Structure 1
Amino acid sequence: MRSLKKILATLLLAAGAAAAQAWPEQPITLVVPYTPGTGIDLIARQLSARLPAVLGQPVVVDNVAGASGNIGSEKVARAKPDGYTLLVQVNTLVMNKSLYKSLAYDPVNDFTPVSLTSWGTLLLVTNPNVQKATTVAQVVAAAKSSPGKLTYATPGVGTPHHLSMALLMQSTGTELLHVPYKGTAGAVTDLLGGRIDYMFLPVHVALQHIQAGKLRAIATGSDKRLPQLPDVPTLAEAGIQAGNVDMWYGVLAPKGTPAPVVARLNKEIGAILRQPEVATAFEAQGMVPASSAPGEFKDLIAKDAQRWAGVVQRGRITAE
């Protein structure tokens, strides 16, 4: 029996290696579970423009938006694990594991991580004409003096912007009133108009308003200060030790995708991310290119899922 199992295992391994050597033999689809024009969409289009030259097959982007990324993500989770259908996602993927109780797929365990592609930073900002706080300590003091009265906006329940503020409130024992919007545009409009007090915003969205004096940056959610805003401290420097709220972006394949295929994708994606023009395109969207080994990306996903599960549980946050 053991000999038969060994023979079968050897045959399966050989079949997988043969399939990987032939791969790719047809076009590859990068599924983006959000609308065109987002940072994730930009990543996919940078990859789709450059992968054909090294893989010898067309690479197309398929925007499958809806349900906070769950529709497109489920499509990839249910796809054949042959390397022809891939997912480009942000860390919302792991947040959704805790936010949604009735998903038809597992946002963490139904995928094979391929490679990290980049990091994005969120800034804690305020309208300087409404709130005079210039430090995190002052924000905390103001929130404690008026529990539940100061407001913060997000693009929606369960977004990184939302959970980042939830983490900040849990770390400081404060309570601000959550005002969720359907997207970033309306939230920013009301923040600029003085109808909202605070918000976590991506660097590329906030920077133009900060430079124009319409918003004030209080802290950066990264573990390092930003070169564009060297005088703005990190949350950790402000005393929030659990304050790194960077968003990761990456490429994933369906669970069971052959390891040689994953390795080839990882190698080619890593080479693309090192191209100067790709770095320039990413930086324009407030992202920093960053590749990783599949195993490193897997460990990051597992750690991040556990971290945000705690935030969701403590905040009793749910999304329908």
Structure 2
Amino acid sequence: MQRRHLLSSVLASALWAGLPLVSSTALAQEAAWPAKGPIKLIIPFAAGGTSDILGRLIAERLQAGLKQTVVVENRAGAGGVLGADAVAKSPADGYTLLLGTIASHAINPAMRAKMPYDAAKDFAPVNLLGTIPNVLLVGTDQPFKNVKDLIAAAKAKPDAIAFASAGMGSSQHMSGELFKLLAGADLAHVPYKGSAPAIQDVIGHQIPSSFETITVALPHIQAGKVRALAVTTAQRSPLLPDVPTMQEAGVKGFEVASWQALYAPAGTPAAVVQRLNAEVEKILATTEVKARLYVLGLSHSANTPAQFAEFNRGELSKWQRVAKEGKVTLE
């Protein structure tokens, strides 16, 4: 009886305030979330990578905060597109979530003529979980001691110097494309099927340079197998405090971060999105999780769904410009 009176009061208040009318059934379902059943977190990449490690870290702790089972499902393919599409087409009830990335929500939508979902309209941004710097690397056999050396050589012999990436449409690839545009350095792109073979060919002196995430690159830098010339983020990484940013190295306006984020389908109730955001912020603020993020090379700044949505719009717009100016497309 008390619950019916409460719902009636909410409806009356909404009518008085001129707000959109919401059914009592919808309000009851929202208030009960997440009591209905398990929550599924789709990770659109294979097990073992940064997205998978981070997603499982979040899922395990969400279970405690929400007092509900959180099931992780890896659905890899097409640079994160397949998994993201599955979430976009799921019911907007808070029971299906996505561990999205710069690939699924900025680069692929910017580069592909046809996408199965609208990255700007088909998702409710929940939280920007973290950003990871990429690093410009060269082999130890190369004469380049800094970014200016590499730019000068590339300008002297256009396309004579190649850079490796983890694949077409990866953040590593697009770091190189942005570098070419802003530095005026014509490097030849050589895409690989993942980070491991790409960096191994730089180590083995098969290719002179690459852009790689700091997570993958750090052990090889520390072992002296490759040389780091610059990080791609606006600030230096605490993991490589002596390595300058690309902007410090002379490439004005250069800023790239590979990022990981949490999304729900568009139309998910705002209260559910806010609850998820709050629970995730609690998780990311713990000492244990902060330590894990540090090891992964991830930096997190507290953010609201609205702040993350604004960030996402800026990223999409940025990579649309880079793809257009660099004439880079994915089919």
Q: TM-score, normalised by structure 1?
A: 0.95
Report if aligned partners of 2:213, 2:258 keep a CA contact under 8 Å in 1: no
* Counterpart AA for 2:139: N
What is the rounded CA distance, in whole Å, between the counterparts of 1:229 and 1:115 in structure 2? Answer: 26
1:95 matched residue in structure 2? 107
Alignment partner of 1:309 is 2:320: yes
* Counterpart AA for 1:294: P
Q: Shift in Å at residue 228 of structure 1? A: 2.6
Deviates more, 1:240-249 or 1:190-199: 240-249
Q: Shift in Å at residue 10 of structure 1? A: 5.0
Structure 2 counterpart of 1:112, from 95, 100, 124: 124
What does the per-residue CA deviation read over 1:68-93, in whole Å, with 9 as the maximum and x for residues that have no partner?
Answer: 11100000000000000001111112
| 1:1-320 alignment runs, 5 A limit | 11-12=21-22, 15-25=25-35, 26-92=37-103, 93-129=105-141, 131-320=142-331
Q: Shift in Å at residue 18 of structure 1? A: 2.7
Q: Shift in Å at residue 213 of structure 1? A: 1.2
3-state SS, counterpart of residue 167 of structure 2: coil
Report if aligned partners of 1:120, 1:202 keep a CA contact under 8 Å in 2: yes
Tell me which of the two structures has the higher relative contact order, counting C-alpha pairs closer than 8 angstroms and 6 or more residues apart: 1
Q: Shift in Å at residue 121 of structure 1? A: 0.8
* Counterpart AA for 1:122: N
Q: Shift in Å at residue 223 of structure 1? A: 1.3
Deviates more, 1:203-212 or 1:248-257: 203-212
3-state SS, counterpart of residue 149 of structure 1: coil
* Counterpart AA for 1:271: K
3-state SS, counterpart of residue 121 of structure 1: strand
Report if aligned partners of 1:119, 1:290 keep a CA contact under 8 Å in 2: no
Q: Which runs of 5+ in 2 are unaligned?
A: 1-11
Q: Given the superposition, is the C-alpha separation of residues 211 and 256 from structure 1 closer, same or farther in structure 2, using an over 3 Å criterion? A: same
What does the per-residue CA deviation read over 1:240-281, in whole Å, with 9 as the maximum and x for residues that have no partner?
Answer: 222111122110010000000001001000000001111111
3-state SS, counterpart of residue 69 of structure 1: helix
Report if aligned partners of 2:195, 2:216 keep a CA contact under 8 Å in 1: no
3-state SS, counterpart of residue 22 of structure 2: helix
What is the rounded CA distance, in whole Å, between the counterparts of 2:98 and 2:189 in structure 1? Answer: 31
What does the per-residue CA deviation read over 1:125-181, in whole Å, with 9 as the maximum and x for residues that have no partner?
Answer: 10021x111211111001011111101001111110011110011001111111111
* Counterpart AA for 2:115: L
Report if aligned partners of 2:44, 2:74 keep a CA contact under 8 Å in 1: yes
3-state SS, counterpart of residue 244 of structure 1: coil
3-state SS, counterpart of residue 216 of structure 1: strand
Report if aligned partners of 1:47, 1:269 keep a CA contact under 8 Å in 2: yes
What is the rounded CA distance, in whole Å, between the counterparts of 1:184 and 1:229 in structure 2? Answer: 19
| Aligned-residue CA RMSD (Å) | 1.8
What does the per-residue CA deviation read over 1:182-204, in whole Å, with 9 as the maximum and x for residues that have no partner?
Answer: 11111111111111111111112
3-state SS, counterpart of residue 124 of structure 2: strand
What is the rounded CA distance, in whole Å, between the counterparts of 1:16 and 1:294 in structure 2? Answer: 21
* Counterpart AA for 1:99: M
Q: Shift in Å at residue 41 of structure 1? A: 0.9
Report if aligned partners of 1:29, 1:59 keep a CA contact under 8 Å in 2: yes
Deviates more, 1:298-307 or 1:193-202: 193-202
Q: Shift in Å at residue 108 of structure 1? A: 2.2
What is the rounded CA distance, in whole Å, between the counterparts of 2:92 and 2:302 in structure 1? Answer: 22
Deviates more, 1:224-233 or 1:141-150: 224-233
Q: Kindly tell me the number of residue pairs found equivalent between the two proteins.
A: 316
